[in-house]
Amino acid sequence: MAKGTGPSDSLSKLPKLTAELQKFIDGMGVYFESQGIPRIGGRMLGVLMIAHWPLTPEDMANVLQVSRGSISTNLRMLTASGMVERALMPGSRLTHFAFSDEAMEHRIAAGIRSTQAFRRLVQEASAALPGGDPSRHHLVDSLEWSDLLLEALHNAIEHWKAHRAQGSHSHTVRAGE
C-alpha cells in the first residue's frame, strides 16, 4: 500500500459497524429520504460521515450491500449537492469520495435557495391576487415567514463560518448531543 492511500479493504476504512452505527446509517437513509434524497443516498452519507478514509464507489457498494450502479447514480447527486466531494488519494488510480467538510454550509445554502424560490412564487401570486381577496393573508404570511427564515438561514451560515474559522469546534460530541 502506498503511503497516504489508506487501507485497501472496505471495512478497514470504517469503525466496527456495531448495531448502533448500522442504526445511524439506516436512520440517515430514512432522514434524507424525507428530505427528497433517495434512501440509499442518505445511507451513503451516513457511511461517509463515519469513514476513517475516503471510500471508493466499490467500497460503498460492499459496505451497504447495494449495486454499484445505485452508488454511482447517488454519487452524482450527492457531489452536485456539495455534501460529498472527490478525494485525491496519492498512489491510487481509483476515484475516492469523502463527506465534505463544507457539507453543512451546502445544506444551509440549499435551504436559502429553496426558500428564495418559494418566496418568488408567493410574490408572483401576491402581485396577481387582488388586494381585497380573502385568501391574501396566506400569501402575506408566507412572505413574512420566508423573510424570517431567510434572515435566520443567513445568520446561521455566518455564525457557522465564524465558528469554523475560530477552530472552536472540537470534533468531539458529548453524550446526549
Domain 10-99 has CATH 3.40.228.10: no
Residues of the chain short of pLDDT 70, as ranges, are 1-11, 168-177
What pLDDT score was predicted for residue 177?
Answer: 44
Taking phi first (over 0 means left), then psi (-120 to 50 degrees means alpha), and beta for anything else, what does residue 11 get?
A: alpha
Within 7-166, residue ranges assigned H as helices are 19-34, 39-50, 57-64, 68-81, 103-128, 136-165
What pLDDT score was predicted for residue 154?
Answer: 94
What pLDDT score was predicted for residue 143?
Answer: 96
Domains in the chain: boundaries = 10-99, 103-165
What pLDDT score was predicted for residue 67?
Answer: 95
Three-class SS state of 81? helix
What pLDDT score was predicted for residue 10?
Answer: 58
Give the global pTM.
0.76
Long-range contacts of 3-9 (CB under 8 A, 24+ apart): 3/90, 3/91, 4/89, 4/90, 4/91, 5/89, 5/90, 5/91, 5/92, 6/52, 6/53, 6/54, 6/89, 7/53
What pLDDT score was predicted for residue 75?
Answer: 97
Q: What are phi and psi of 8, to 5 degrees?
A: -90, -20
What pLDDT score was predicted for residue 1?
Answer: 36
